[in-house]
Amino acid sequence: MRNNKVVMLALVIVMLVVAACQSAPTTAPTAPSNTAVPTIAIEPTKATPVDTTNPGCLGSAAQAVVDLNCREITIAVENAYLPFNYIEITTGQPGGWDYDTWTQICTLLHCAPVFKETGWDGLIQSVADGLYDVGADGLTIMEDRQKVVDFSDGYLQINQRLLVRAGETRFDSLEALAKDPKFTVGTQSGTSNYETAIKYVPADRVKAFEQMPFAIQALLSKDVDGVVIDEVAGLGYQGQDQDKLAFAGPSMSSDQLAFIFPKGSDLIEPVNKAIAALQASGVLNEINLKFFGPDFKVTGEDIK
């Protein structure tokens, strides 16, 4: 996503089966294999419970991949991007892939994650300005972003897809939607999803929303005819609503997601080592299954 937003060869991300009208079974995104795996004893081998409110210093110096000595790491998240980060209405508590993954990263780096809610429109620049140590939020590695921030190694390979209402028969791909001037598409402003949308559809037929949940709601209320979205995020919005949402057509691009840092950050190398360790131990695979798999039940109606 968020585009304007190792794994060892034997490790394969689990196949996700998503029942949706007019959409083929979908495979889970795979983690890129571009980082050497540390030859160390890796702990934990299973994802541990997450305290998303104030976990404090995690792990220990003795078992750290790199010992950050309980350093606080401020992590910018939008808290409005399923399944990466969100606030549940019923509990008021945050959760999502970013929270679980950074809890595991800090367990391996002996640090304290501090999550900071940040609007999407200013998230990248805030990290570039050093207001936060890290930017999460499912950010795509892009050349223009590399001019202002540094990226970690990629942690997930994702595809951009067209999300439609289940049972859609008027078109079967973004190309087909683009051919009929009466159809419109929605997506989030300032993202690679938006850049992809305007490559296929005239800009005056692309409705840009401040947050992705607004685009999804517009789709469900028939204010737009489709939404360009990262496949993993689309799976998150499907959740229990497989009877309401479906993917149409093939992938329109394949991108790597990564964390962002202020230029020259000393955290990049330690975080890369932690990502590699989580991939090698299977913990990242476990987190991916939790949030991108068929058992993930949080929907747009459940979050603020």
Contact 137, 2 (CB under 8 A): yes
Mean pLDDT (the chain) is 84
Contact 76, 116 (CB under 8 A): yes
Identify the domain containing residue 197 by its residue range: 159-253
Q: Considering the domain boundaries, does residue 220 fall inside one?
A: yes
Q: What is the 3-state secondary structure (H, E, C) of 249-270?
A: EEEEEEEEEEEEEECCCCCHHH
Q: Considering the domain boundaries, does residue 151 fall inside one?
A: no
Q: Which pLDDT score is estimated for 72?
A: 97
The alpha carbon of 125 is separated from its chain's Cα centroid by a whole number of angstroms, namely 18
How many structural domains are present in the chain?
1
The helix/strand/coil state of 229 is strand
Q: Which pLDDT score is estimated for 158?
A: 84
Q: Considering the domain boundaries, does residue 171 fall inside one?
A: yes
Q: Considering the domain boundaries, does residue 117 fall inside one?
A: no
DSSP 287: H
Q: Considering the domain boundaries, does residue 222 fall inside one?
A: yes
User: What does the DSSP assignment read for 70-134?
Assistant: TEEEEEEE-S-BTTTBEEBTTT--EESHHHHHHHHHHHHHTEEEEEEE--HHHHHHHHHTTSSSE
Residue (of 209, 88, 93, 75) closest to 137 by Cα position: 75
Q: Nearest-5° angle of CA 234, CA 22, CA 172?
A: 85
The rounded distance, in Å, linking the Cα atoms of 184 and 300 is 21
Report CA torsion sign: 4, 106, 54, 155: positive
Q: Report the CATH number at residue 231.
A: 3.40.190.10
Q: pLDDT of the chain along its 304 residues, tens only?
A: 555 443 332 333 333 333 333 333 344 454 554 443 333 333 443 444 444 557 899 999 999 999 999 999 999 999 998 889 999 999 999 999 999 999 999 999 999 999 999 999 999 999 999 999 999 999 999 999 999 999 999 999 889 999 999 999 999 999 999 999 999 999 999 898 999 999 999 999 999 999 898 999 999 999 999 999 988 888 878 765 678 999 999 999 888 999 999 999 999 999 999 999 999 999 999 999 899 877 888 877 788 7
Alpha carbon separation from 227 to 2, 6, 183, 194 (Å, rounded):
14, 31, 11, 10
Q: Considering the domain boundaries, does residue 232 fall inside one?
A: yes
Q: Where are the beta strands (DSSP E) in the chain?
A: 71-77, 86-87, 94-95, 111-117, 134-140, 149-151, 156-165, 185-188, 206-209, 226-230, 245-262
Q: Considering the domain boundaries, does residue 262 fall inside one?
A: no
Residue (of 206, 193, 190, 213) closest to 87 by Cα position: 213
The rounded distance, in Å, linking the Cα atoms of 77 and 303 is 15
Q: Which pLDDT score is estimated for 53?
A: 58
Pairing of strands 156-165, 245-262: antiparallel
Contact 120, 190 (CB under 8 A): yes
Q: Considering the domain boundaries, does residue 170 fall inside one?
A: yes
Contact 263, 124 (CB under 8 A): no
The rounded distance, in Å, linking the Cα atoms of 231 and 233 is 5
